[in-house]
A and B are shown apart, each in its own frame.
Chain A
Amino acid sequence: GENVEQHPSTLSVQEGDSAVIKCTYSDSASNYFPWYKQELGKRPQLIIDIRSNVGEKKDQRIAVTLNKTAKHFSLHITETQPEDSAVYFCAASTRTDKLIFGTGTRLQVFP
């Protein structure tokens, strides 16, 4: 079935360090992979996405990489700041365009 696994479930880093969150998907038809940031009590916010015809995408301190062969994709945050603290969700599209979400990673950035 359609499934997305996400690791780690919690991640603590010092301000200025890098953070990496990894996801694995099961549906070989998935071709769109967004990442959402959700702060406590707020809506999930799209921060970056990547399509299957691209291996890497960057937006300032955030980058996403995709390995279609291995069905892995990862979020990289460099020079982390306290305001990066939140829960991050990866997702993968299905052939019917709905999103399957991972279970989330709680990122804590300590000053």
Chain B
Amino acid sequence: DTGVSQNPRHKITKRGQNVTFRCDPISEHNRLYWYRQTLGQGPEFLTYFQNEAQLEKSRLLSDRFSAERPKGSFSTLEIQRTEQGDSAMYLCASSSGGYSNQPQHFGDGTRLSIL
């Protein structure tokens, strides 16, 4: 399966701890997106990359959140000093570039639970 891969699938941590998630996009997809999804809601945009450049960050993304895509392949999303409200499913999606609005394909997500 060469789809979008996310690790870990589940993360349980205590409030105040730092967590890091990884996303491996479909190979040759140069766009990579991070979304957050809470129960009963649609995915909510966080940030996205074109190759290694971070092109946009949501205003919802506090300074405790940082994302990187250092070599334009996999990406990491780090949350520092986690809070209860950070509990959610964190989804990654990728798309091919070149033209705007190419279909975005999602991974299975990382479910974060803050104790």
Chain A interface (Cβ < 8 Å from any Cβ of B): 4, 6, 31-32, 34, 36, 42-46, 49, 51, 89, 91, 93, 96-104
| B45 CB contacts on chain A under 8 angstroms | 98-100
| A89 CB contacts on chain B under 8 angstroms | 42-43
Chain B interface (Cβ < 8 Å from any Cβ of A): 4, 31, 33, 40-45, 48, 55-56, 91, 100-101, 103-109
* A44-B43 CB under 8 A given contacts A32-B101, A51-B101: yes
Residue in B closest to A34 when the chains form the complex, CB atoms: B103
CB–CB A102/B42 < 8 A: yes
| A42 CB contacts on chain B under 8 angstroms | 108
Residue in B closest to A36 when the chains form the complex, CB atoms: B106
CB–CB B107/A43 < 8 A: yes
Majority DSSP secondary structure for residues of A touching B: strand
Alpha-carbon gap, A101 to B31, bound state (A): 18
CB–CB B40/A46 < 8 A: no
Q: List 9 A-B contacts (CB under 8 A).
A: A36-B106, A43-B91, A91-B42, A93-B100, A97-B48, A97-B101, A98-B45, A101-B43, A104-B42
Residue in A closest to B95 when the chains form the complex, CB atoms: A97
